[in-house]
Structure 1
Amino acid sequence: MARRVLRGSRAEEAVLLPPGTVAAIRAELPAVADDVVDQIIREVPAYEDAFGGPMGETIRGAVQVALGGFLSLISDRRGPSSAAPRSSAVAGAYQLGRGEVRSGRSTDALLSAYRIGARVSWQHLAAKAVEQGIEPATMASFAELVFAYIDELSAASVAGHQDEAATEGRVRQRMTERLARNLLAGAPEATLLAAAERAEWTPPTTLTAVIAPESQAGALQQALRKGTIQAADLPDLEGAALLLVPDAHDRRRPALVRAVRGRECHVGPPRPWQEVRSSYDRALRARALGLTGDTEIHLPRLVLSADPAALEDLRAQVLAPLDDLRPAAAAKLRETLRAWLLHQGRREEVAAALFVHPQTIRYRMTQVRELYGDRLEDPDTVLALTIALGVEEVSG
């Protein structure tokens, strides 16, 4: 006759089966383990190849150990010693969960395997218990304990899976951040390739630097292409983070630009992945100038502001003939000369751009020629004037 020992609440009940029944069920464990593994392979695609060869034998052994531990709990052994089988089984389940992360399987696959294992195990255990003449009331309690035990093991495996995933995620994040810093430092190719391998990151053809507000970088990273690297706490970026986006060039660039629209981001140009520092530098310069979005549409401003001191020297040199004029007169002649250069001397177009009469343009250009003389025919002077006056155009 089976005996029941109460340990407080119903959830803590333990059913003690007769030794003969326990022995009969224990003898069935190898067949149970085989059936569990076969059913998991059939029903969970993620395990189709995992149970082949030595791994299959390991899992079969683990199933037997887990169920054997359960049988030890419901045998005649009572007291503190009964905690040892459970503790050992739970520890094994926890390590199983960690191993599943390293094997690349999700908790969904893991829990599916447990559900199948519970179903198949109970079919075998129940059949053997009935064969041994266990009473229906005892069978109900036995079922409750079987499924509670397997639930405990599955919870331990999920905890192991989550802990390992978190650890692995932190390690990978550290590795990718180290890779990002090596890229920005212009490290040698061998160093970059080794860092990429450690981060389990496949080098793309190009990388594009995107500077994003720190509060939006995580969400943006998820929305961008797989393999996007995030680097935070860079000395040049106060309140912002850097994203390095793989293969966002040619036809894929518009999608990147759309993804950052309205986010106060700065998108550098695509560059060969080992040369992404130049993309980052351009995004930094655009950020310093307050030019958001795609830096490609700000190229004139970026070029003209590349060396502010040199630009000021050039302006002072090439616009010196206007220095003796009254400020208002000098401003009108600068405006007219800039429009003249941009419209290649077409008087009607210059007048339309400045909303004045063509005769006014003729009068002003006569003044400019008197001040500059033959230098207006010199290509180098024309180039210098175009650059010096062009900065006013792109700044306006």
Structure 2
Amino acid sequence: MAAKVTSATVRGAAALQMDDAVLRVLRERLPAIATTTMAAVVDEVPDYAGALGGAAGDTIEKAVQMAIAGFLKLAGGGRDVDPSTPLGPTREGAYALGRGEARGGRSMDSLLAAYRVGARVSWRELARTAAEAGTPATTMAKFAELLFAYIDELSAASVAGHTDELTTSGRVRDRYRERLGQLLLSGAGADVLTAAAARAEWTPPTSLTAVLLPAAEARRALAPLSVDTLIVGEDLQGIEEVDPDHPLTLLLVPDADGPGRRHLLRALAGRHAVCGPPRPWIDARSSFDRAARALALHPVSRGGEPIDSERHLADLVLTADPTAVADLRGQVLEPLAELAPATRDRLAETLLSWLLHQGRREEVAAELHVHAQTVRYRMAQVRELFGDSLADPAVVRELVIALSAPSAAPATRR
């Protein structure tokens, strides 16, 4: 057995017994009442100002006429209304109205305000006509209760439609924007990217900056960033995950250069993030590549500050081709290869400091925490091994690069 329908609208329609003659008068007055109601909505709700004669005005007029006609149908005592669907097409129309208003960019507040104005004005007009037709006071009270229960149900249907439209369109837009981010990483051409940006309702900025951070933190990190930040949570080619149980998310942040970069780094303070450089938006892949390499060199740690790849350019350059660096060490540090490991390391450390401090012995001693005479002694050994080559600028450059490279222990002869 079907459950009994107990909505306020159905109960009110069942309790109200409007005289057929009064209903005929009300139906005859429907166009005039709808026009008056529509004019009040346009006049009193700012988002509908100037809507008369336009597409929005036509929508309002049809919605008002449908709503009042549906109400008068209910006011007949529910005699010709299916109790399982008390509002029928009218409720569906209210739902569609909510979706349409969301697509038109109008807020739910505006639509609810329109319902309030419409309920007040239509009740005034309907009540005046019903009273002139001799409707008793007790019937008028039930008439009022039914009207406002009816408006509540219609407004609820419109709220549902408005919410569903925003949710659906938001999901579609988010999918298009994720796709755009993936195309940027794939190195797609400018025409493809421009078309994808248009589909995603995304206005291309001057630049994009890649930010890599744990997926679990991505949503929270978005709050202070531009609403046009792109999110790519999958297919991050070029990153070797240290921990597969804690995947990374990529954010592509618009116009985060100059003052914008300072804002970005402040917004990421305390988060485990790596920031690439700003790049022209169609070249966002290069910002991602830089961030991925900086991540490999400086894995993010809990509670640490965000890593700015632009503060680690020397390390990035020195590790761009690890095999080339290894070969360079093997060549330029050949004079140290035959020494015992401990001696070799001490002389290599002293040589690098001496080159960087341009031979200022006291500064080298302070950096290495040794006596200046120790520096003198070690450098005498170095000069004996390297000879006049230490005066050659090309050799000096190669030595600085070889000795400065991360984990740059001098190569041994095999």
1:156 maps to: 157
Residues in 2 aligned to 1:392 and 1:93: alpha-carbon distance in whole angstroms: 67
Residues 75 and 143 in structure 2, CA contact (< 8 A), matched pair in contact too: no
How far 1:319 moved relative to its partner?
A: 1.3
1:373–1:50 distance in 2 versus 1, CA, 3 Å: farther
Does 1:280 pair with 2:281?
no
Q: Which deviations, in whole Å up to 9, do the C-alpha atoms of 1:162-206 show, x marking residues without a partner?
A: 111111111111111111111111111111110011111000000
Q: For residue 57 of structure 1, what is the aligned residue in structure 2?
A: 58
Unaligned runs of 5+ in 1: 1-6
Corresponding residue number in structure 1 for 2:316: 302
Specify whether residues 271 and 302 from structure 1 end up closer, same or farther in structure 2 by C-alpha distance, changes over 3 A only: same
| CA distance in structure 1 between the partners assigned to 2:324 and 2:78 by the alignment | 90
RMSD: 2.3
More helix per residue: 1
Change (3 A) 1:368 1:156: same
Pick the aligned partner of 2:341 from 323, 327, 350.
Answer: 327
Contact kept in structure 2, 1:207 and 1:245, CA below 8 Å: yes
Residues 402 and 408, structure 2, Cα contact 8 Å, conserved in 1: no
Judged with a 3 Å threshold, the aligned counterparts in structure 2 of structure 1 residues 8 and 48 are, in CA distance, closer, same or farther, namely closer
| 1:339 is aligned to 2:353 | yes
Aligned to 1:40: 41
Matches within 5 A, 1:133-282: 133-236=134-237, 239-282=247-290
Deviation per residue, 1:131-174 (Å, 9 max, x gap): 22222222221111101111111111111111111111111111
| Higher RCO (C-alpha under 8 Å, 6+ residues apart) | 2
Give secondary structure in 1 for the equivalent of 2:29: helix
Q: SS state of the match for residue 191, structure 2?
A: helix
1:221, 1:230 within 8 Å by CA — same for their partners in 2?
no
SS in 2 for 1:245: strand
The CA distance in 2 between the partners of 1:44 and 1:194, in whole Å, is 37
* TM-score, structure 2 normalization: 0.88
Residues 181 and 230, structure 2, Cα contact 8 Å, conserved in 1: yes
Give the match for residue 4 of structure 1: none
Classify 1:294/1:394 alpha carbon distance in 2 versus 1 (closer, same or farther; 3 Å). Answer: farther
Cα deviation digits, residues 290-336 of structure 1 (max 9, x gap): 34421112222222122222212212221121111121111111111
For structure 1, which segment, 15-24 or 275-284, has the greater mean C-alpha deviation from structure 2 after superposition?
15-24
Change over 3 Å in CA distance of 1:368–1:135 after alignment to 2: same
1:268–1:283: 8 Å Cα contact kept in structure 2?
yes
What SS does structure 2 have at the residue aligned with 1:212? strand
328-337 vs 15-24, which moves further: 15-24
Deviation at 1:233, TM superposition (A): 1.5
Q: 1:83 to 1:332 in 2, by over 3 A?
A: closer
* Structure 2 residue identity aligned to 1:335: E
Distance 1:362 1:72, change over 3 A: same
Aligned residue for 1:223, secondary structure, equals coil
**Which residue identity lines up with residue 216 of structure 1 in the other structure?**
E
Change (3 A) 1:257 1:394: farther
Q: Determine the structure 1 residue equivalent to 2:405.
A: 391
Following TM superposition, by how much is the alpha carbon of 1:52 offset from its aligned partner in structure 2, in angstroms?
4.2
Residue 62 of structure 1: how far off its partner (Å): 2.0
* Matched-pair identity in %: 53
Paired residues of 2:354 and 2:361 also in contact (CA < 8 A): yes
Q: Which runs of 5+ in 2 are unaligned?
A: 301-306, 410-414
**Equivalent residue number for residue 3 of structure 1:** none
C-alpha distance in 2, partners of 1:203/1:95? 32
Equivalenced residue count is 390
Q: Which moved more, 1:124-133 or 1:328-337?
A: 124-133
- 1:69 is aligned to 70
Amino acid at match of 1:312: A
Question: Does the Cα contact within 8 Å between 1:177 and 1:231 map onto a contact in 2?
Answer: yes
Which residue in 1 is equivalent to 2:96? 95
